[in-house]
Amino acid sequence: MNFVVEKNIDLYDSKFSWLRLEQEIPFELEDSFFWLLSKLEIHRFSFEHDPDNTSTQKVFIWLPLNEWSVRDQKNLVQSLISLAKPFDLTLPSCKWIQAKDEDWSLSWKKSWKPDPVGKSILILPAWLDVPEKFLERKIIRLDPGSAFGTGSHPSTRLCIEALDNNPPVSQVIADIGCGSGILSLTALKLGAHSAFSVDTDSLAISATKINSALNDFSENLLNVFLGSIEEIEANMPRKKIDLVLCNILAPVIKLIGPGFEKIIAHKGKVILSGLLVEQIEELQEFFLTLGWKVLKIKKKDQWALMVLSQDFP
């Protein structure tokens, strides 16, 4: 553990308002970090992803200087370190910096770059122009705010690549646990008829609506609701859902999995992600007992994606 604080600075000097924690993390830990920081009600944080770096990213956390003692800082770092243990990972030393009164909500944007995914998708920070070399790609403009995914996490990239390889042309999509809305936006860019997106976090709902507007999708194309699968069932069209996207943690997938049959159309498919490789066998058995067929399993690092299908009457 490494605390780096500028020397000779009065803790209450009015020139310095923030403590900024900088921590390099493996992509596998993005969801865990998001969960912990949200649980601790720390809302000023962001993830920095360099498309040229395929193994790690940085998380930046801004904390009010006069509210966080050295003891509090150490406790926070220990909590972050504990998140790596279930993955058999070790975090490198973090860095604490006292910062002047900066606009934390804007400063993290400086290093966010255009990010090509798959053969035809480009995730583009909303404040940047499209680089000439990517003009032929389908552009997804994204402004996730400080706390939602930017497409860098392996489980998200698995989903985007699956959609890119088999475009859901004219299909009705359900996106359960939509976050920033990136999977719904990808499906629509690839030709989906419409998307019904849900999340239990009201901030995610706001982020999805903002990103929908950034990509010029109307409300009848991207329908967003606070809640879970029951909101899909209550609001979906009469023809039901052709493709369910579910990029959330395995225990939650098992809770809502029995409800997939109620919303899926005849010969519809489900794409599950957010799964650890060691959870594949358990989830396979779980869905086989519910009558689903496992069509495909794909892995990226420690994460896996599973495609299900079943011919419902």
The number of beta carbons lying within 10 Å of the beta carbon of residue 15 is 10
Which of 111, 141, 170 is the last residue before a domain boundary?
111
CATH code of the domain containing 74: 3.30.70.2040
Q: Is 212 exposed, middle or buried (0-12, 13-18, 19+ CB in 10 A)?
A: buried
Tell me if 129 is assigned to some domain. no
pLDDT of residue 144: 58
Per residue in 232-288, pLDDT (tens digit) is 999 998 889 999 999 998 999 999 999 999 999 989 999 999 898 999 999 999 999
Same-domain status, 42 and 162: no
**Distance (Å, whole) CA 231 – CA 180:** 18
Tell me if 142 is assigned to some domain. no
- 152, pLDDT greater than 90: no
Tell me if 119 is assigned to some domain. no
Domain assignment of residue 266, given as a range: 151-309
**Structure tokens that stand for 276 in this block:** 């650890």
What's the CA angle centered on 201, arms 195 and 207, to 5 degrees? 60
The number of beta carbons lying within 10 Å of the beta carbon of residue 292 is 20
Domains in the chain, number? 2
Which of 48, 80, 111 is the last residue before a domain boundary?
111
Per residue in 218-231, pLDDT (tens digit) is 888 999 999 999 99
* Mean of per-residue pLDDT scores for the chain: 86
Give the CA count within 13 Å in the CB-facing half-sphere of 141: 15
Torsion of CA 160, 37, 50, 141, to 10 degrees: 50
pLDDT of residue 224: 96
Same-domain status, 172 and 258: yes
pLDDT of residue 13: 46
Per residue in 67-107, pLDDT (tens digit) is 888 889 999 999 999 999 888 888 999 999 887 765 555 66
Which of 58, 92, 111 is the last residue before a domain boundary?
111
> Quick one: pLDDT band at residue 50, thresholds 50, 70, 90?
confident
Same-domain status, 186 and 280: yes
Tell me if 255 is assigned to some domain. yes
- 12, pLDDT greater than 60: no
CB 120 within 8 A of CB 140: no
pLDDT of residue 262: 94
pLDDT of residue 16: 57
> What is the residue-wise DSSP string for the chain?
------SS--TT-TTEEEEEEEEEEEGGGHHHHHHHHHHTT---EEEE--TT-SSEEEEEEEEEGGG--HHHHHHHHHHHHHHHGGGT--PPP-EEEEEES--HHHHGGGG---EEETTTEEEEETTSPPPGGGTTSEEEEE--TTSS--S-SHHHHHHHHHHHHS--TT-EEEEES-TTSHHHHHHHHTT-SEEEEEES-HHHHHHHHHHHHHTT--TTTEEEEESSHHHHHHHS-TT-EEEEEEES-HHHHHHHGGGHHHHEEEEEEEEEEEEEGGGHHHHHHHHHHTT-EEEEEEEETTEEEEEEE----
User: Tokens 């060691």 appear where?
Assistant: 278
Tell me if 233 is assigned to some domain. yes
